[in-house]
């Protein structure tokens, strides 16, 4: 028997969708800055990219504060329990209509593989993008605080690191969009992140 429970809190949903909007804007304008596409125009793309980056930094600060005071940061602690079973489910079991190896609750919203991926995203990919982006903004020639102060010969290294981080983020988004469709129904995970409520087995309810 299934019942609806409140899984995703209001700020959590606001953070998720605002972050998604900003990331897509950053990716879109970033491609234009690189000359891959042409939509806003180079100067506008640079301006929009910088504005979105500043808003993203503010959102990150609020999200960190919220996760700390609510204890939600514990949701992302990696665990080995059922990790192999979860990986096998995504590779084989999901195509055989096998039952999901882990159950979602308000205290455990992420499966073991999600915890590992999200932890890597939050402590590696996002920080790399943020730090390299800040360096690109504030330590570029011909400012007085040039890259020479950091013993960096040029911005090429920073640009490559920033771009590599962006491609890792795009890879995550592609996987994320696919996994959204792997819930009880093809739209159940999406609806849960919109309404906050998700149907789970009664025995999993706290």
Phi, psi for residue 187 in degrees, rounded to 5:
-115, 0
Range of the structural domain that residue 96 is part of: 2-204
| CA atoms lying within 13 Å on the CB side of residue 176 | 15
- Band (170; pLDDT cuts 50, 70, 90): very high
Q: Identify which of 43, 54, 49 has the alpha carbon closest to the alpha carbon of residue 30.
A: 49
pLDDT > 90 fraction of the chain, expressed in percent and rounded: 59
Higher pLDDT, residue 150 or 64? 64
Tens-place pLDDT, residues 86-128? 999 988 888 888 888 888 888 889 999 999 999 999 999 999 9
The structural domain count of the chain equals 1
Q: What is the CATH number of the domain that holds 182?
A: 1.20.950.20
Mean pLDDT of the chain: 87
Task: Please enumerate in sequence order all residues whose Cβ is within 8 A of that of 146, keeping only pairs 6 or more positions apart, or say none.
Answer: 139, 140
Task: Please enumerate in sequence order all residues whose Cβ is within 8 A of that of 115, keeping only pairs 6 or more positions apart, or say none.
Answer: 75, 76, 77, 78, 79
Distance CA 123, CA 128 (A): 9
Q: Which of 71-80, 98-107, 176-185 has the highest mean pLDDT?
A: 71-80
Higher pLDDT, residue 144 or 2? 2
CA distances from 125 to 31, 36, 82, 128 (A): 18, 22, 25, 5
Q: Is the pLDDT of residue 144 over 90?
A: no
DSSP for residue 180: H
């Amino acid at each position: 028997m299934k019942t609806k429970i409140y899984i995703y809190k209001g700020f959590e949903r606001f953070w998720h969708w605002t972050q998604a909007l900003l990331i897509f804007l950053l990716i879109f304008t970033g491609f234009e800055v690189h000359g891959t596409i042409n939509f806003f125009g180079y100067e506008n793309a640079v301006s929009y990219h910088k504005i979105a980056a500043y808003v993203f930094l503010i959102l990150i600060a609020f999200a960190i504060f919220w996760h700390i005071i609510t204890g939600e940061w514990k949701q992302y602690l990696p665990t080995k329990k059922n990790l192999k079973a979860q990986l096998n489910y995504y590779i084989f079991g999901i195509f055989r209509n096998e039952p999901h190896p882990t159950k979602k609750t308000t205290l455990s919203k992420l499966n073991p593989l999600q915890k590992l991926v999200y932890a890597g995203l939050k402590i590696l990919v996002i920080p790399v993008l943020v730090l390299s982006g800040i360096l690109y903004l504030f330590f570029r020639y011909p400012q007085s605080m040039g890259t020479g102060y950091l013993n960096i010969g040029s911005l090429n290294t920073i640009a490559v690191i920033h771009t590599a981080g962006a491609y890792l983020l795009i890879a995550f988004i592609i996987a994320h969009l696919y996994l959204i469709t792997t819930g009880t129904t093809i739209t159940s995970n999406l609806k849960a992140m919109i309404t906050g409520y998700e149907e789970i087995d009664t025995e999993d309810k706290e």
